[in-house]
Amino acid sequence: MQLGGEIEIGRLAYGAMRITGKGVWGPPEDPEEARAVLRRVQELGIDLIDTADSYGPEVSEELIAEVLHPYKGITIATKGGLERTGPGEWPRNGHPDHLKQACEGSLRRLRVERIDLYQLHSPDDDVPYEESVGAIKELQDEGKVKHVGISNVSVEQLEQAREIVDVVSVQNRFNLEDRHSEDVLERCEELGICFFPWFPLAAGDLAGPGGAAAEIADAHGVSTGQIALAWLLRRSPVIVPIPGTSSVAHLEQNFAAAEIELSDEEFERLSRAAV
């Protein structure tokens, strides 16, 4: 997959939300394991890491820079547009001034002069969407952002953003259990832009006893999470899942999913399964 027609990335990326504390708040319970995960990301050849200033907040970006800077062979994608008021609390802030300050903070923590991929984390109902996107376009024009992505959007918002800036990626929740962004994915396919499905391991009831994901996982001798990733990878060539974990063993398991080949029958069964 290519971002913006020039940055080549693999079919599986790493989501760096989980290298923080409980509730995505504060430092990780096991900082050394978090560092080991990031080192293993590089060793496995994973070439895109997705993070955000709100993960921690700031903790994820700081750890990434500590372990991996100067990012040889790795694209760093971060996000702005959410604030944190406590564990599990994610108020939106899409005001242009906030987004510009957020970008400056990410540049400093990541120790870069330009962010490879900067994503608007979410629309803010209190701010016209075009103003939020426009602020990121200004950051791009200033040379602080190379490519622009958006997240948690509708098709209408995608088209609205594309009128302002060249959008190279969309990041929405999408998995075996939740396919409400199917129309957004289809539009990304038409445009040839990258679709990052967040929360990609979820399979809901399909992972339970007698569920399609559980039975197919048993047949392959793998986990239901790996089957969920394998389904996403086959679902569309523009999909790049970003599974996150704070465990090296789980990281390796996730990325082994790229080797799983679902049969046509298995893929169709999962695709038809009740959501």
Catalytic residues: 55
Cis amide leading into 209 (omega within 30): no
Q: 258 is written with which tokens?
A: 């790229």
241: nearest Cα among 254, 253, 252, 250: 254
The answer to whether the beta carbons of residues 87 and 22 sit under 8 Å apart is: yes
The Cα 241–Cα 13 span in angstroms is 6
How distant, in Å, are the alpha carbons of 144, 195, 253 from that of 93? 20, 23, 35
> Residue 275: which residues within 8 A CB-CB, separation 6 or more?
176, 177, 178, 179, 204
* Token digits of residue 136: 């990121």
**Token representation of residue 104:** 């400056």
Q: Distance (Å, rounded) from C-alpha 21 to C-alpha 85?
A: 14
Residue with tokens 């990326």: 13
Amino acid, res. 61:
E
What are the structure tokens assigned to 221, written together?
């001798």
Helix, strand or coil for residue 206?
A: helix
Joined tokens for residue 160? 């609205």
